[in-house]
A and B are shown apart, each in its own frame.
Chain A
Amino acid sequence: MTVLTEPSSFDVQAVVDEVWTTFLGGEPLVPVAPDFDPAGTFPGSRWDAAVTVSGAWHGLIVVSVNDAVAHAVTQAMLGLDDGDTAAHEDVVDALGELVNVIGGNIKSLMDGPSKLSLPLVAQAPIQAGGIVETCRLDLAWGSHRVWVTVGTRDEGGTS
């Protein structure tokens, strides 16, 4: 039997597509050539939303977006009218739920049992010690960029 040590980028892409289009409808996410280092600077204010998975598999799932995408996502998920702007705590909550659902579905790809953490949202890069990036999606949402990274606990090269 094959034991997966990390989710495939194909599956991660499919999960992200499914969650994104189900909650946000409209414009799909389109893969694009990598043009940004998530650890570096961001064009516009940056939002990171993350969950960790711990148990049979240890992982970190991070969704990174700029301020405009963060507000658009919140607006769509909360069903706000075009004129209404989302409050800061609304953005935190909406991005948290988005990464919660993405993370939960990625957790299900892996052998369990594992537990999903409550989401963490920050206007800054979120990283975790001992976690190495194993999958990164560079996506376009209209004219904006969306990044999803999956990290797996560094097991010292065992597989």
Chain B
Amino acid sequence: MISPSSFGFVADFLLRETAMVCEPGKEYLVEARLLPLARAAGVADVDRYVDLLRTDAVERGRAADALTINETSWFRDLAPYQAFTDVLLPQLLAARQDRRHLEIWSAACSSGQEAYSIAMLLDESLPPGWTYRIHATDVSPTMLERVRAGRYSQVEMNRGMPANRLVKYFTRVGREWEVSADLRRTITTEKINLAAPLPGIGLYDFVLLRNVLIYFDVDVKRDILRRFRARVAPDGFLMLGSTETTLDLDDTWIREAAGRAWVHRPRQPAGVRPATGTATATSPATPSTSHPTRLTTTGA
């Protein structure tokens, strides 16, 4: 088992370089994620590997990637995607008649399943003449490279991808499946550390920041929400994970029901209302019972 000092070092550098919290009790998971890297680096065990990390920034990047890998699904949780097509998209189509273009941000996009899931829905639902861009960002360059490549293993394809969309949007390339060039063209990527100031300008119509806040301590969470507030269009939507909420952190958001999911909208100054607000405002969130999904082992 990884030594306390090695674990402490890993937790510190993760916090420093990705702002992710890695609490005691996760030793087994850190060990499981780093062991293959230790072997690849030719060292005997994880403690020796952590010694390597102390002096090797490139290897630290690899370790950070391995530790932040998200075991993720296509159309994960379904309800947010149903909410998007059934509730949010009709509102956005009405609100963006003049521009006929949607800007979407998949923040902490991991290997891109969320971004491409949204792309498939838009491909199937947008009226002719409309365009969209999905900006996929992550702290990990390895993940962004994967998003651009748009290639997924068999096991990844099994996770929630409806068979009819698999045959429609993917072709087999060797042992992997590659998403169509048409969908890849709608995705842009950028390395963004959510804990640092956000680069770029412009407003997004729909922002997905799902199952990410849970990894940050409360001050960082509050800060992230404040900075995202400035990037969501006044009549746009922010989607958090099903168990996450802004309400206890930041009163500049309104939480609304959208089908079986929840969305957050920027609260407008008194007297100003977004043009399309039709969803119902609701009572504060109940505490969550689910668990974070990063830093988990693969289900067998």
Contacts and interface: CB of A to CB of B under 8 A. Distances in A.
A21 B298 contact: yes
Given A11-B174, A108-B172, A25 B298 contact: yes
Interface of A is mostly: helix
A23 B300 contact: yes
Interface size for chain A: under 10, 10 to 19, 20 to 34, or 35 or more residues?
10 to 19
Contacts of A108: 172, 175
A15 B176 CA distance: 10
Nearest to A79: B300
Contacts of B174: 11, 109
A23 B297 CA distance: 14
Contacts of B155: 18, 22
B90 interface: no
Contacts of B172: 108
B298 A18 contact: no
A105 B39 contact: no
A28 interface: yes
A109 B36 CA distance: 25
Nearest to B176: A14
Interface in A66-106: 105
| Among all A-B residue pairs, the 3 with the closest Cβ atoms | A25-B300, A11-B175, A109-B175
A22 B300 CA distance: 6
A15 B175 contact: yes
A118 interface: no
Nearest to A30: B39
Interface string B281-300: 00000000000000001101
Contacts of B276: none
22 contacts: A11-B174, A11-B175, A15-B175, A18-B153, A18-B154, A18-B155, A21-B298, A22-B155, A22-B298, A22-B300, A23-B300, A24-B300, A25-B297, A25-B298, A28-B36, A30-B39, A105-B154, A105-B175, A108-B172, A108-B175, A109-B174, A109-B175
A89 to B, nearest CB: 23
Interface in B135-155: 153-155
Nearest to A26: B300
A76 to B, nearest CB: 9
Contacts of A22: 155, 298, 300
Nearest to B40: A30
Interface string A21-47: 111110010100000000000000000
B38 to A, nearest CB: 11
B186 to A, nearest CB: 28
Contacts of B36: 28
A114 to B, nearest CB: 14
A91 B167 CA distance: 35
B34 to A, nearest CB: 13
Instruction: Point out which of B36, B153, B175, B297 has the most chain A C-beta atoms below 10 A from its C-beta.
Output: B175
A15 B154 CA distance: 9
A21 B35 CA distance: 14
A107 B154 CA distance: 13
A108 B172 CA distance: 9
A156 B90 CA distance: 63
Nearest to B36: A28
Interface string B18-43: 00000000000000000110010000
Contact of A14 (B39, B175, B297): B175
A26 to B, nearest CB: 8
Contacts of A25: 297-298, 300
